[in-house]
Amino acid sequence: MRYLFIAVWMGGLWVGCATPQVRSQALVSVEVERWQVRYQEERARVEELAMRLAQAESALEVATQERAESAQLNRLLEEELGRATAERHSLAEHNAQLVTRQRELTALQEELEDVWYQAALSRAKRRSQPQQGAPAPSTPPQPPAADATP
């Protein structure tokens, strides 16, 4: 039995050595190379997408900053508009006061002209009348002083 066992074992060894070996390393290496190429392509695409994402984020930050600056400028412009409106109202009130004072001054000027006119008339009448008795003083009468308070 021992010889039989050795004979079978030798026959199995002989059959095992005689069977052709299938080389699958070439298929595996081709598949590995194909996966490596796909990996490199995907990696390049991911890097490109990362760059585009970074550019988009940068543009978004710039837009956000511009929007914040615009909001701040709008606030400043609204404040300036409020101040300008208040100043315009105060100038309109001041103008109304000046117009009122101008009317008052015009009325006072007309009264003063009337007083001067009346004084000039009275002087002219006194000079045109014959002098009786004592000579008249040479100083003309002074018009009453008008109290012009602005």
pLDDT tens, 43-66?
Answer: 999 999 999 999 999 999 999 999
What gap in Å lies between CA 58 and CA 92, rounded to an integer? 50
User: Whole domain around residue 98: which residue ranges?
Assistant: 25-125
The per-residue pLDDT for 150 is: 46
Task: Give the mean model confidence (pLDDT) for residues 103-120.
Answer: 95
Residue 9: which pLDDT band, with cuts at 50, 70 and 90?
confident
Domain assignment of residue 138, yes or no: no
User: What is the pLDDT, as a whole number, of residue 103?
Assistant: 97
In a domain, 131, yes or no: no
Residue 128: band (very low, low, confident or very high) from pLDDT cuts 50, 70, 90:
confident
Quickly state the pLDDT bin for 42 (edges 50, 70, 90).
Answer: very high
Residue 22: pLDDT band (50, 70, 90) is: low
Residue 136 located in a structural domain: no
How far apart are alpha carbons 93 and 90 in whole angstroms? 5
Q: Is residue 58 part of a domain?
A: yes
**133 within domain boundaries:** no
3 within domain boundaries: no
- Whole-angstrom distance, CA of residue 23 vs CA of residue 25: 6
Residues 109/148, Cβ–Cβ less than 8 Å: no
Cβ density class 47-62: b for 16+ within 10 Å, e for less: eeeeeeeeeeeeeeee
pTM listed for this prediction: 0.43
133 dihedral zone (left: phi>0; alpha: psi -120 to 50; beta) = left
Evaluate whether residue 53 is within a structural domain. Answer: yes
Nearest to 104 by CA among 148, 49, 41: 148
Say if 73 falls within a structural domain. yes
Total tally of structural domains belonging to the chain: 1
